[in-house]
Structure 1
Amino acid sequence: METTEKITGTQLGFLLFTFVISTIMLTVPGIMTMFGKQDAWMSVFPASLTGLLSIWVMITLSNRYPGLTIIQYSSNIVGKWLGRLFAINYIYYWFISISTITMQHAGFINTLLLPKSPSIVASLMFLFLCGLAAIAGIEVISRCSEFITVLILFFLIPLLILTIGEANHNQLKPILGEGILPVLQGAVNPGGGYMNQLFILGWLLPYLNQPKKARKVSLIALSGIVVLIFIIVLLTIMVLGPLTGKLTFSFLSVIQYIGIAGSFERLEAIAVSMWVMGCFVKVSVSLFILCHCISQLFGMRSYREIVFPITLLSLIGSVWIFKNGAELLNYLAFTFPLLAFFNQSFLPLLLLVIDTIRRRVENSRL
């Protein structure tokens, strides 16, 4: 594994924050409200528990196997052949994730900016840039993420302040009118599919120059994600009310609604900018991880040799994976949380449990 690149704790925190917030910001509030209704803003807190679980599991495993990625130490835990199956599973998972995000990106851009342009053009240019970033390495991606995160917050915070003027707290009533069950149902999507994306620590921690800072920066990143999503979901419900759960990009609709005639108009351009920048970081990191999974599975010297072939396959996957936007939305709302929870929470936790049992058995024999 190439470990000449190093990232700081601050860079890791920004990277984790942007990786999660990039896609959850515009799409998830509507899905949360679809299930949680007016109480969806409370769903953020139970959803964050999977994020805490991911941080604890990945840092614990990393401390036991310093300098190794989850693909490498999985073979040490479950054996060579099961470790290979483990790697193949994650190769499939990351490929599907990149293809899905790319299709989302192309659909978003086509809907708002380029309705007459072929979607494959937007996907091709987007993946080409992400492939270049993946070749440049995690250190370059992390430096980009520092700048991009600050830029996203610079655009986002004024929008949130403008939204407060249009908010109506009566849209939140009745609080817990149907009990706690809708709140828990609303937590399934962000908890199962997004908050636990912090499991990318399993690939990034070997590059951290000060491993002792991993827990602190990860918790700070998770706290920032929770606070921001809480505010976005709360304000979206207060502005749109019951309409929130019926919109694919509900927060985008809020941004369009708060435009001030003559002063601030067409604010959705800002939303598009935030989406593109955030997705660039997310797909770049995902490509980096996917190529590492493949190179470590086959014992390749460098992952960089396969970045562009994998990028081309991802472009094909983004066209092939879903027939239309309705299928994509159905996947994101119902299938993705289960698939993501299995790969992002269950499998790493299973590795930790197996490793703990194995160590105790070995110690008992001494």
Structure 2
Amino acid sequence: MKQQERVSSIQMSMLFLFFMTGSSIVIVPAPLTNIAGNGAWISLLLATAIGMLLLAAVLYLNRLAPELSLVGQSRSAMGKGLTFLLLIPFSCVLLWNISGVVIEIGIFFKNTMLKETPTYAVSTLFFIMIGLTAMAGIEVIARMAAVFMFLMFGCIVLIWILVANLYHPQYLLPVMPDGIGPILNASYVVYGFPYSELVVFSVIFSFVRKDENAQLRKHMYVALIINSLTLIASVISSIMVLGPLSGDLKYSLYQLARLISFQEVIERIESVIGFSLIVGFYFKASILLLILIKLLKELLGLKNERLVVFPVAFICLLLSVTTYTKESQLEEFVNVTWPLLNTLAYTIPVLLILLVTVIRHHSKGSKEQ
């Protein structure tokens, strides 16, 4: 995690795609379908539109000052004092964000493959892994993502293909049996996770090579579109296979993998698929920890951010094993509180920094004229 580390615009967009799709591909389809029913894909389209606007905001900030991270942009616009007040809550929510991802990993294993294994054991191993990964730096993570992304997306596409004989298109109708209300409610939930979280990438955009900043915007938009299409396809395939049960069965994609049976040769492959999907959780948590360490380094003026990687990871571990140990509590928090919390801690500070930066930029241009 040295300042001279650099990645290409394609590598940054791959990290972004992994971040947006990694855990959401496992978690999102079932609760989304439970709330919006057959109109879940419409909720995803609405949330994606909001995500596009947020991505446009952070990319515009990057275009104005590509050499600065979010901390540098904020200090340039509002000074050190206001930056500290704005970004300390930002950092605290990042701590919970990392913990929340690992909590979901533990719950996923507890409900599917490792039912007798204590959740804290799974969480501890994952935090050791993501701590070591974050210490390796963004260049190493980007190279790893190039390999593992094909594994994760390959498994997702494989599931869609192997369950094709179970598709029942008639399950997709009616689209809005209960009107627009449930669809708007579901779009609020999926806005909170994962689309409101994308603004945290403004912390690491400064790692993109200077000569590739022009391509960054195009690649990031493509990544967000791929993410949206992947989630929509997963929701639609779950509805076509599981019908009314698609909203009641957690981890829809994993449930589809359990149904795969091809000529009595390919069957019971859900464990392999499950571990492939866990790669997405691992990468998202690693990227979040990297972003948090980078943020703390600049915000607190740390000379060697490596020294705080494992202390921060340990704090996240304590949060993961002591908060929301009951699934019902976590589900209520994610569906109701998380979108609002992300808006207050992530979205509003970034939009405020953008607003002040734009005003200062235009006023400066007017004076020069």
- Please report how far the alpha carbon of residue 114 of structure 1 lies from its aligned counterpart in structure 2 after TM superposition: 1.9
Q: Secondary structure of the residue that 1:4 maps to in structure 2?
A: coil
Q: Which residue of 2 aligns with 1:202?
A: 202
| d(CA) in 2 for partners of 1:273, 1:46 | 30
Q: Which residue of 2 aligns with 1:105?
A: 105
Q: Which runs of 5+ in 2 are unaligned?
A: none
Q: Which residue of 2 aligns with 1:339?
A: 341
| d(CA) in 2 for partners of 1:173, 1:45 | 18
Contact 2:77–2:357 at 8 Å: present in 1 too?
yes
Compute the TM-score of the two structures, normalised by the length of structure 2.
0.93
Contact 2:5–2:207 at 8 Å: present in 1 too?
yes
Q: Which residue of 2 aligns with 1:92?
A: 92
CA gap 1:45/1:290 in 2 versus in 1, 3 angstroms: same
- Please report how far the alpha carbon of residue 241 of structure 1 lies from its aligned counterpart in structure 2 after TM superposition: 1.8
Q: Which residue of 1 aligns with 2:298?
A: 296
CA gap 1:364/1:9 in 2 versus in 1, 3 angstroms: closer
| d(CA) in 1 for partners of 2:204, 2:250 | 32
Q: Which residue of 2 aligns with 1:170?
A: 170
- Of residues 307-316 and 71-80 in structure 1, the stretch that sits farther from structure 2 once superposed is 71-80
Q: Secondary structure of the residue that 2:68 maps to in structure 1?
A: coil
Q: Which residue of 1 aligns with 2:266?
A: 264
Supply the RMSD in Å over aligned alpha carbons: 1.9
Contact 2:2–2:137 at 8 Å: present in 1 too?
no
Contact 1:22–1:274 at 8 Å: present in 2 too?
no
Q: Of the candidates 337, 346, 352, which is equivalent to residue 354 of structure 2?
A: 352
Q: Which residue of 2 aligns with 1:117?
A: 117
- Please report how far the alpha carbon of residue 362 of structure 1 lies from its aligned counterpart in structure 2 after TM superposition: 4.9
Q: Which residue of 2 aligns with 1:8?
A: 8
| d(CA) in 2 for partners of 1:26, 1:228 | 11
- Taking the TM superposition and a 5 Å limit, the aligned residue runs for 1:108-187 are 108-187=108-187
Contact 2:196–2:339 at 8 Å: present in 1 too?
no
Post-superposition CA distance 1:67-104 (Å, at most 9, x none): 11112221222222110012211210110001111111
- Of residues 30-39 and 134-143 in structure 1, the stretch that sits farther from structure 2 once superposed is 30-39
| d(CA) in 1 for partners of 2:358, 2:125 | 45
CA gap 1:324/1:182 in 2 versus in 1, 3 angstroms: closer
| d(CA) in 1 for partners of 2:268, 2:58 | 42
| d(CA) in 2 for partners of 1:216, 1:359 | 23
2:229 aligned partner, one-letter code: V
1:316 aligned partner, one-letter code: L
Q: Of the candidates 275, 282, 287, which is equivalent to residue 277 of structure 2?
A: 275
- Please report how far the alpha carbon of residue 268 of structure 1 lies from its aligned counterpart in structure 2 after TM superposition: 2.0
Q: Which runs of 5+ in 1 are unaligned?
A: none
Contact 1:18–1:145 at 8 Å: present in 2 too?
yes
Are 2:230 and 1:213 equivalent residues in the alignment?
no
Q: Which residue of 1 aligns with 2:308?
A: 306
CA gap 1:228/1:95 in 2 versus in 1, 3 angstroms: same
Taking every aligned residue pair, what percent have the same amino acid on both sides? Answer: 26
1:233 aligned partner, one-letter code: V
- Of residues 342-351 and 207-216 in structure 1, the stretch that sits farther from structure 2 once superposed is 342-351
- Please report how far the alpha carbon of residue 60 of structure 1 lies from its aligned counterpart in structure 2 after TM superposition: 1.0
- Please report how far the alpha carbon of residue 178 of structure 1 lies from its aligned counterpart in structure 2 after TM superposition: 3.3
| d(CA) in 1 for partners of 2:325, 2:110 | 16
- Please report how far the alpha carbon of residue 261 of structure 1 lies from its aligned counterpart in structure 2 after TM superposition: 7.4
Post-superposition CA distance 1:338-364 (Å, at most 9, x none): 222334433212221222233444555
CA gap 1:143/1:188 in 2 versus in 1, 3 angstroms: same
Post-superposition CA distance 1:134-186 (Å, at most 9, x none): 11100101111111101112222111112222111111111233333333222
- Of residues 302-311 and 350-359 in structure 1, the stretch that sits farther from structure 2 once superposed is 350-359
Q: Secondary structure of the residue that 2:23 maps to in structure 1?
A: helix
Contact 2:22–2:277 at 8 Å: present in 1 too?
yes
CA gap 1:65/1:35 in 2 versus in 1, 3 angstroms: same
Question: Number of matched residues?
Answer: 366
Contact 2:134–2:287 at 8 Å: present in 1 too?
yes
